Chains A and B, each alone.
Chain A
């Protein structure tokens, strides 16, 4: 006879089996997606990778799942998978990547084709290892790739890069020097201010505006940090008649803001 207790047991078993089946299906789908990722090329159906997208979302607050997923993604990055596959991996690591991903991502920085996507992940990752990798990488790369790394260090406002960035103000490549100035402005420390102050007179003509803008940005950071006197010195320099009208206007507004802070 089919009692109520039997019914409950059967229902429980069915639910458990269902859950197990569902987990198994999800695992299989994930395995299949990683298999497809190994040879993924641009223009192929993204649906084949959908299980990885879903796993990234589902791994929130599940550290074990995230770690497992991260390891699988890093393995693809270290393989000879196509550029499109590594591009996809970097996007996912930008969301869940930890210090464990950093070496594989840092290895992409010198690669002209993948440097940006390496930074796409590293720049978003809050761990110190990510920014340290970009700081270390800055000295090992050249040209446009170097500009990109400098820009990312500026976004991260990495004060530990200050000395290296100050050195790059002298770089013969105006794109590198300009990026270094902007990054120093974003860092906005007293040391950065000192370097940018010295740079105002030395900057080549094509970088005068960029130098002034970086100096203004630096002043804003100092002001926000309660260093009104340091900011005021910058604004006074940039309010002089040798600056373009809009820079003088910005400096004059800054002077008013600094005076209001006292």
Chain B
């Protein structure tokens, strides 16, 4: 339920002016233009935004969107203190139930930064309500959800920005442009490296903390007694009911660079084999130390390993390696290349949140669109399934099906706990 009366934009700004003292001591800075300062564009020209999932990551991303000109209106979270903290700091409205928040007709867009098992549910609910969506990565906990998400986002022609902010770094874009422009020749091999998951956690039941709507926090995930999993990102990032681990959660970044530089979905069927260890003690139970090999039908080979954050494209005439921190190449002179009008030029974004808000206004796709989000998340899911099945999986990226393996195909979806659906 909404925890304060429905308010207009004008009233919101008046209220906001009166809460300066409250947010002065807050951990997240809210720029004055978000609160209607004199030099800000009029409220009617600003994109009004809401946040679903007001934890650390969501707060960081949302703050960036406010700094880029977004007008914060509404906050939904299963944790009372989180949603009310944001509402207090901005003069917005806190919602225990995101559906009530999405029913507001004065909300243009939402940032989804909830638990991974909620991402598609929140995104789809927002799209059905006519909102544009910035969605944190990874996209889902089952690949079938990705396809449903894409279907609904396409249906309503909603702007969708995936939270793979490395696309808004100039060196990442340049590296992918080099690859797509053929500066390393024909791509032969690809290496993708992402930080590993963690063991640990306890599955021992404990009392539900005050201020947490545990049933809402669980959402579509299977019920089990509370065991501390909702207390922070690390509490659920590596728990298979809520996420599939860093093979997707962190893997989304270097895998996003992969699909930005190379069309894995056009490379023919994939043969995917992999091994990993899965912790048998503690709460965490996602794949660790994964070692995945993918062979595309066009002959290109890919290795996916845990480690740092890195995507390397090896071509017939050189290679390019891209990470969040920088870019390297061989020959090094590749990095001095000047791309001409006949080369491939990717979308130039310097601010991921800002790029999304721009898309909301212009109705032109942002830099990290839904198609690429599905493509990169596919690598994570198919790798995870191959590991868990302990055998080679063949993935048909055109039909988006696992070929000839009924048992593995079952893992493409999970039934949602009632009443949730996508």
Which A residues form the contact surface with B (CB < 8 A)?
42-47, 50, 57-58, 60, 84, 87, 94-96, 113, 115-117, 119-120, 122-126, 144-145, 147-148, 151-152, 154-155, 175, 179, 182, 209-210, 213, 216-217, 220, 244-247, 249-250, 253
Interface range, B side: 35 or more
Q: Assess whether B156 is in contact with A175, with CB atoms less than 8 Å apart.
A: no
Can you list, as one digit per residue, whether each of B122-158 has a CB less than 8 Å from chain A (1) or not (0)? 0000001110000000000000000000010001111
- The 6 A-B pairs at the shortest CB distance, nearest first, are namely A148-B418, A246-B130, A43-B204, A47-B280, A123-B415, A151-B421
Does B336 have its Cβ within 8 Å of any Cβ on chain A? no
The listed residue (B130, B158, B223, B390) touching A116 by CB distance below 8 A is B223
Contacts of B391 in A (CB 8 A): 60
Binds A, one of B251-259, B347-355, B404-412: B404-412
Q: Assess whether B155 is in contact with A250, with CB atoms less than 8 Å apart.
A: yes
Contacts of B388 in A (CB 8 A): 57
Given the interface pairs A43-B203, A43-B204, the reply to whether A179 lies near B129 with Cβ below 8 Å is no
Does B224 have its Cβ within 8 Å of any Cβ on chain A? yes
Given the interface pairs A42-B227, A60-B389, the reply to whether A151 lies near B418 with Cβ below 8 Å is yes
B166 to chain A, nearest CB (A): 30
Can you list, as one digit per residue, whether each of B384-422 has a CB less than 8 Å from chain A (1) or not (0)? 000011110000000000000011001101111111110
Q: Assess whether B414 is in contact with A57, with CB atoms less than 8 Å apart.
A: no
The listed residue (B130, B156, B227, B413) touching A43 by CB distance below 8 A is B227
Does B231 have its Cβ within 8 Å of any Cβ on chain A? no
Bound: A96/B388 CA distance, A = 13
Q: Assess whether B151 is in contact with A249, with CB atoms less than 8 Å apart.
A: no
The listed residue (A42, A50, A210, A253) touching B205 by CB distance below 8 A is A42
Contacts of B421 in A (CB 8 A): 151, 154-155, 179, 182
Bound: A250/B158 CA distance, A = 10
Q: Assess whether B410 is in contact with A249, with CB atoms less than 8 Å apart.
A: no
Q: Assess whether A116 is in contact with B203, with CB atoms less than 8 Å apart.
A: no
The listed residue (A57, A120, A148, A250) touching B157 by CB distance below 8 A is A250
Given the interface pairs A147-B419, A155-B415, A250-B157, the reply to whether A46 lies near B128 with Cβ below 8 Å is no
B127 closest partner in A (C-beta): A246
Bound: A120/B158 CA distance, A = 31
Can you list, as one digit per residue, whether each of B357-391 has a CB less than 8 Å from chain A (1) or not (0)? 00000000000000000000000000000001111
Q: Assess whether B156 is in contact with A246, with CB atoms less than 8 Å apart.
A: yes
Does B285 have its Cβ within 8 Å of any Cβ on chain A? yes
B95 to chain A, nearest CB (A): 16
B409 closest partner in A (C-beta): A126
Does B298 have its Cβ within 8 Å of any Cβ on chain A? no
Bound: A60/B411 CA distance, A = 14
